[in-house]
Structure 1
């Protein structure tokens, strides 16, 4: 039995998509606390801008990133291996609060800083093998509101969109990552930064 029990008052909104389990909690954290987290994390995080290979060319990802986690929680995505930075006191406090909400242990967090509407995240699923059979990804959103789109894997049409607001939490779990992709598209309407923290559990196969 999990030691975590989510509060009944923070059950949020269930987003109805087939073959998905999506929970959205607007105003999950108080505005003054979200403001503080945004300011401190933006200033204190050692941001990097990795290069990825795309059609044989090296290009910089259109956002700044940082990966924190337990010692064993190295994480490979987009062809890059990310070794975890050690948890800070603030990230430890935020992780404990997220774990209480989702009733699950989480040993890593990916921070993405979208400096303005020109920064984006392309279509993808968080379905790397080290995330397990049914990955749970808890996405904390700070700063500018951005539209978050879903489309079926293999499809091209946006099936659902939600605006992720300052201080909100989006929880994707169950079969979501196996059937759906998501993106943060560029937007000329956005001029303020957005900071996104996606908590997850890295699973390592035992060495035999």
Structure 2
């Protein structure tokens, strides 16, 4: 399935093998990005993330919020999440992201990283509920952080810095062939919120 970007902003193709990843800086200016950061921070029910690693339930310092249409429950790392309702600001952002890629989303996973000691290990967004034919659109708000891809087979890596107000689009079949990670840093950095817009296949939802 082909997708089309409809934006006056320039974009960079970061990966074009076994999938496609495009990066668009400054989709929102700093003032808008900062306002949206505060809106997300203050209007959502943020909870520590819980996941299973090596048979043990782990609670992270990073906090998450799962938002979506009513039936869009989502399971990852053995924990099922039920959606919070869309806020007006999130619906506004969702409409902008849908216009960029010409695709409709029904859910969004938000991650809140308080500082550089919090990150996300290598993983793919390939859970059964997710529509494998849909792109995943990732909006960064707040601190600049380093983000990396690693090929599952030949271990090739590619890294970039995600800026405030920037968008990263991961087109299928990127999740099948690549892991990605938000890398930790010892540098003093402020908080960051990442929004990843997704499409849940409702026929696979309990």
Report the CA distance between 1:204 and its aligned residue: 2.1
Q: Deviations over 1:25-78 (max 9, x none)?
A: 000111110010011211222100033222232221241000000011111111
Distance 1:37 1:206, change over 3 A: closer
Contact 1:5/1:100, CA 8 A, preserved across alignment: no
- Counterpart of 2:90 in structure 1 is 91
SS at match of 1:105: coil
- Counterpart of 1:37 in structure 2 is 36
SS at match of 1:10: coil
- Counterpart of 1:175 in structure 2 is 173
Consecutive unaligned residues of structure 1, counting only runs of 5 or more, are: none
- Counterpart of 2:123 in structure 1 is 124
Matches within 5 A, 1:54-133: 54-133=53-132
Q: Distance in 1 between matches of 2:204 and 2:130?
A: 14
Q: Distance in 1 between matches of 2:132 and 2:198?
A: 13
- Counterpart of 2:159 in structure 1 is 161
Q: Distance in 1 between matches of 2:132 and 2:49?
A: 27
SS at match of 2:129: helix
Contact 2:136/2:196, CA 8 A, preserved across alignment: yes
Distance 1:61 1:6, change over 3 A: same
- TM-score, normalized by length of structure 2? 0.91
Give runs of ≥4 in structure 1 deviating > 6 Å: none
- Counterpart of 2:15 in structure 1 is 16
Report the CA distance between 1:185 and its aligned residue: 1.6
- Counterpart of 2:190 in structure 1 is 192
Q: Distance in 2 between matches of 1:168 and 1:31?
A: 10
Q: Distance in 1 between matches of 2:204 and 2:44?
A: 32
Which among 175, 194, 203 is matched to residue 205 of structure 1? 203
Two-structure CA RMSD over aligned residues (Å): 1.9
SS at match of 2:175: helix
